[in-house]
Amino acid sequence: MTAPSRPFDGLLIGASLATMAAPSGYGEIADGALAWKDGVLAFVGPRSELPGSPASLANDVIETRGWVTPALVDAHTHLVFAGDRAREFEMRLQGATYEAIARAGGGILSTVRAVRDADEAALLAQSLPRAQALLRDGVATMEIKSGYGLDFDSERRMLRVARAIGDTLGVTVRTTYLAAHALPPEFKDDADGYVAALCAWLPRLHGEGLVDAVDAFCEGIGFTPAQTRRVFEAARALGLPVKLHADQLSDLGGAGLAAEFGGLSADHVEHTSDAGVRAMAAKGTVAVLLPGAYHVLRDTKLPPLAAFREHGVPMAVATDCNPGTSPLLSLRQAMQLACTHFRLTPEEALRGATVNGARALGLQDRGVLRVGLRADFVAWNIRHPSELCYWLGGDLVQTVHAGGARLA
């Protein structure tokens, strides 16, 4: 005998809900109920308002305690790479600067060599565990950048591996083309020539369905604003949104440039000027805060947090998972660092890893527990949402669901 048809595919009851649905606060619902149908939330509210008994509403009924939040969104990662750069960590502890390491042939180019030497299977085998670690800590949507290949075949391989991670784990992966990350050896002293080449590669990669957005490293040791503009114009010609590594080490006007192109986000932004903040506010560009890199580099220049708040610039929080400056495999740890170093409130940090993280990826269908949005949510073993930023590590996740399917 087949089970009778019920209105919901699944129903979670008993936990408190942090819906994040209001402009501020957690949007708390005590003794809540969360139901989904066809991968979409179909009921979000108090259990007392369910239109029937739980057993009559869904075959899959989960009764639990603790809290449920939207699944986390990691809006800035470089997690597809080969090898590691632990030796550089030691060098920085001994006083070497990020710029000095890069100019000596270390930094990004050392990872480029490792990526070029790895075939697709090896690159996936090394990268998949990093994505699994993020998933186990509550992440169901992650951005993954290229930028460690710096030639057509290697950039393509990185983007293909990023897509494979999403297919393997069932998480949403948004791919970002970051060939404008560093100057490869083949184009030494010819940055303009390299920019022309990477702009020529973009239509081919986009045509293969491998690119969701375009990024660049606009910095003294990266690419100039003029070169970045050429990259953005190539993206705009294809209808691709842009993001930018902006104002991390100096103020070259990167945040304003990203805003000029309607950028989804400006990331790092430690040196962003008030004019850059105002430009971001006018265009709705999200400030993606990356406290992992700030922590590892022992930076002292804070992003203009008060200005972001004053002008209403949304602030996301992301891991910046990468082998050199932020070997961070927990978005919850990034949230904690954002509270500790940047003085975000736990509510701001959670908003940064849900609502605003989704916005930084151009995704309007997640990041909030609301009827009609994706059924991406996490059940946590906590007594209050502030614990997500309070605990340094630890296993707080009960379950992670994406599109109603349990992933962890």
Confidence at residue 105, expressed as pLDDT on a 0 to 100 scale: 67
Confidence at residue 1, expressed as pLDDT on a 0 to 100 scale: 47
Residue stretches of the chain with pLDDT short of 50: 1
Please report how the helices 225-237 and 191-207 are oriented relative to each other, as an axis angle in degrees rounded to 10.
20
Residue numbers belonging to the annotated binding site for Fe(3+): 76, 78, 245, 320
Residue numbers belonging to the annotated binding site: 76, 78, 85, 148, 181, 245, 248, 320, 322, 324-325
Please report how the helices 191-207 and 152-169 are oriented relative to each other, as an axis angle in degrees rounded to 10.
40
Burial class of residue 222 (count of CB atoms within 10 Å of its CB; 0-12, 13-18, 19+): buried
Contact in structure between 215 and 209 (CB atoms under 8 Å): no
| Cα(232)–Cα(352) distance, integer angstroms | 25
Residue numbers belonging to the annotated binding site for 4-imidazolone-5-propanoate: 85, 148, 181, 248, 325
| Cα(219)–Cα(123) distance, integer angstroms | 28
| Domains, the chain, with CATH or none | 8-71+368-406 (2.30.40.10), 72-361 (3.20.20.140)
Confidence at residue 2, expressed as pLDDT on a 0 to 100 scale: 56
Residue numbers belonging to the annotated binding site for Zn(2+): 76, 78, 245, 320
Helices (H), 11-95: 54-57, 86-93
User: Quick check: helix, strand or coil at residue 137?
Assistant: coil
Lookup: tokens for 175: 């791919």
Confidence at residue 92, expressed as pLDDT on a 0 to 100 scale: 80
Contact in structure between 400 and 135 (CB atoms under 8 Å): yes
Residue 252 identity (one-letter amino acid): L
The neighbour count for residue 47, using CB atoms within 10 Å, is: 19
Count Cα neighbours of 248 within 13 Å in the Cβ-side half-sphere.
Answer: 27
Residue 292 sits at the vertex; the CA angle it makes with 394 and 124, to the nearest 5 degrees, is 80
| Single pTM value for the model | 0.96
Residue numbers belonging to the annotated binding site for N-formimidoyl-L-glutamate: 148, 322, 324
